[in-house]
Amino acid sequence: MSTIDVTFHSLADLLSRARPADWPVAFASGQVYDWQTLNQDVAALHNRLSTHSAQRIALCCDDSYRFAVGFLACAYAGKTLVLPGNSQPAALEELSAQFDLMLHDASLSIPAQTDAFEIAIQQNQAAPNWPRLALEELQLVLFTSGSSGTPKAIHKSLKQLDVEITILQSLWGATLHGTRIESTVSHQHIYGLLFRLLWPLCAGRAFAAFNLEFPEQVIAHANEQTTLVSSPALLKRLSEEHHAQPLRQLFSSGGPLSNAAAEHARRLFGHYPQEVYGSTETGGIAHRQQFTASQPWRLFPGVQAELNSERCLRLRSPHIDPHHWYQTADECYFHDTVTFELRGRTDRIIKIEEKRVSLTEVEQRVEQLDGVSEAVVIPMQEGERLTLVSVIVLSEAGQHDLNTLGKGKFWLALRAQLRRWLEPIAVPRRFRIVDSIPLNSQGKRQIADIEHLFRES
């Protein structure tokens, strides 16, 4: 474990420990927000919140600097922080019972009947002598997709975040010293909140106030003094890019990253991405770099893990819950006490004609085929019958075979290969070829978009 850098501050002491007034905090379009400006802006908003009756405060910002001001002002005012994962007006209105006040930036459209005000910056407000934060008493509410489709509230203490930030610093802090942070992911979700905002704040690394949205922006901003916080959704879109400057470091989380995308990122930026496995509920669990296609995951320091009777991962750690085990639906195989392979989610098992079928296994079999680089398999109801369908991304070799054989013979050959492993009911009945798997900004599959591909015909 590497030594924590001397500039590293605990979240509890973030503002109570001094940094030079001109220490860079964030940057945007040639402008730099320094440590003194941050303190003054937090002080101005803190004064306003301290006299406001609202206790549960939603933060909705595209601007990460304004978000940081809002986050710290709420924490020092003893408020509960609420982070909606979706800032669309209808989605915010649906969550309106979860908060009393909304803080936002100029980019947001505010739902009707919502008590809200914009986070002002560069206020020149004298900062007080900040106290140490009682992190155990300060609560954060995040939202993740529930099984019913309704957003599910996940409650965490700021102490849990602080423990995880310390783990991240112990793993990678020394290699990131002196870098600045660019990102393609939102701070409204746990991965972006930690990696692109809170960890940089604690470690004294300047972060970009706004996301990089497009592959060409990522390429243009790459250099050896930059660390990129990204996701499979963006990294897969770099396939047409072939020249870039090396990055100091590259992180990816939010979903599975194919070995092909990891290899391409290494060729572009000089590193295999540091992949982080976790969830909103658990935070970070494990990490890896895909030196090989079967590279195992390694548990974060302090994370205890075991398997239940169904070989699904159970976890315990101070940043999840120090006293109780958390049960996942992720089937695993352990090589030793700290390294493991993910085998897929057991909640992706369905019944077709009274037989259990693992969607994860079918996907893996499709992806093993020559000519297929990525695949998604989903169930679809066709009349009275439940069947499987698959969206695939072809490799160059696969595209060549399709052009040579024609669609009919290509699909017959593909199904024949699958029947070597799968029962007939588990072989997808229909396929669609796409340039990339439909994903949202967090790297999660857009199932509705995938279903639409099959309903069009």
Cβ atoms of 411 and 418 closer than 8 Å:
no
CA distance 320 to 60: 25
Rounded alpha-carbon distances, angstroms, from residue 261 to 136, 160, 268, 274, 333: 39, 32, 10, 13, 24
Q: How far is it, in rounded angstroms, from Cα 414 to Cα 375?
A: 13
**Cβ–Cβ < 8 Å for 36, 22:** yes
pLDDT tens per residue across span 37-91: 999 999 999 999 999 999 999 999 999 999 999 999 999 999 999 999 878 787 7
Tell me the HSE value of 50 on the side-chain side, using a 13 A CA sphere: 10
> What integer pLDDT is reported at residue 352 of this predicted model?
84
Q: Please give the Cα distance from 50 to 44 (Å, whole number).
A: 10
- Rounded to two decimals, what is the model's pTM? 0.81
Is residue 384 exposed (0-12), middle (13-18) or buried (19+ Cβ within 10 Å)?
Answer: exposed
Q: How many helices (H) and strands (E) does the chain have?
A: 13, 24
List the one residue out of 175, 188, 102, 180 whose CA is nearest residue 142: 188
- DSSP annotation of 198 reads I
- With CA atoms as reference, report the closest residue to 342 among 404, 289, 382, 295: 295
Q: Which residues pair with 400 in a beta bridge?
A: none
The predicted structure's pLDDT at residue 150: 62
> Which secondary structure element, helix H or strand E, spans residue 157, and what is its range?
strand 151-157
Q: What is the DSSP letter of 220?
A: H
Tens of pLDDT, residue by residue over 326-359, are 999 899 999 999 999 998 877 777 878 767 788 8
* R_g over Cα of the chain: 23
Q: What's the pLDDT score for residue 439?
A: 81
CA–CA separation, 335 and 426 (whole Å): 29
Please say whether the beta carbons of 172 and 199 come within 8 A. no
Question: Can you tell me the distance from the alpha carbon of 441 to that of 457, in angstroms, rounded to the nearest whole number?
Answer: 27
Q: How far apart are CA 441 and CA 185, in angstroms?
A: 7
DSSP bridge pairs for 274 = 251
CA distances from 394 to 206, 374, 437, 443 (A): 39, 7, 11, 19
**Which residue type is seen at 85?**
G
Nearest 5°: phi and psi at 283? 70, -160
Measure CA 56 to chain center.
24
Given this model, what pLDDT does residue 3 score? 43
Cα(172)–Cα(182) distance, rounded to whole angstroms? 16
**H or E stretch covering 34:** strand 31-34
Structural tokens at position 125: 């407000």
pLDDT averaged per 10 residues in sequence order, the chain, 457 residues = 62 92 94 96 96 96 97 98 86 88 86 87 89 97 68 93 98 95 95 98 97 95 97 87 94 89 96 95 96 96 93 94 90 95 82 77 89 92 86 94 93 91 89 89 79 82
* Residue 109 contacts residue 60 (beta carbons within 8 Å): no
Q: In whole angstroms, what is the distance from residue 145 CA to residue 20 CA?
A: 41
Six-digit token string for 429: 């009945």
What is the DSSP track for 239-271? Answer: GG----PPPSEEEEESS---HHHHHHHHHHHSS
What sign for the dihedral angle of Cα 350, 354, 356, 361? negative
Domains in the chain: ranges and CATH: 11-172 (3.40.50.12780), 212-346 (3.40.50.12780), 353-455 (3.30.300.30)
> In this predicted structure, what is the pLDDT of residue 78?
98
Using CA atoms, how far apart are residues 366 and 372, in angstroms rounded to an integer? 7
CB 34 within 8 A of CB 22: yes
Taking phi over 0 as left and psi of -120 to 50 as alpha, with beta for the rest, 123 belongs to alpha
212-237 pLDDT per residue, tens: 999 999 999 999 999 999 998 899 88
Q: Which amino acid is at 42?
A: V
Q: Determine which helix (DSSP H) or strand (DSSP E) holds 167, and give its type and residue range.
A: helix 158-172
First to last CA, the chain: 55
**What rounded mean pLDDT belongs to the chain?**
91
Q: How confident is the model at residue 441, as a pLDDT?
A: 64
**Which residue, chain included where needed, has tokens 């909140």?**
193
Q: Which element (helix H / strand E) includes 183? A: strand 180-183
